[in-house]
Amino acid sequence: MAQTTLHVRIDEEVKERFDEFCNDLGMSMSTAVCLFVKQALKEQRIPFELKVSPKKLDTSKRIGSGVGIINLPDGFDEAFDAADAEIAELFENGGSL
């Protein structure tokens, strides 16, 4: 399958922290993003809950803009750990993404 490039803008500090996190997992940021995309396609949804924080949402400034604040829910780390375990199991059983 042909490869292509995806460009994403992200805060420099967040990128550095994510790079360290991915290195700790033994993968590149590119691999982590590919895993996210493939999981989203497999489940046909964003593989975690997204919600607008009512206390941070100023509707007078955001009405019609389509912009909201995204907060990761409590338990997100556990969900990510579960996804890691599923991915590891897939590779142990000879599967591929």
pLDDT single digits (tens) 36-72: 999 999 999 998 887 776 665 555 444 444 555 555 5
Cα 66 to Cα 53, 54, 57, 75, distances in angstroms = 14, 15, 12, 26
**Confidence (pLDDT) at 12:** 94
Q: 90 and 56 in one domain?
A: yes
Which helix H or strand E contains 51, and what residues bound it? strand 51-52
Q: Domain span at residue 10?
A: 1-47
Q: 56 and 11 in one domain?
A: no
Model pTM score: 0.52
**For the chain, how many structural domains are there in total?**
2
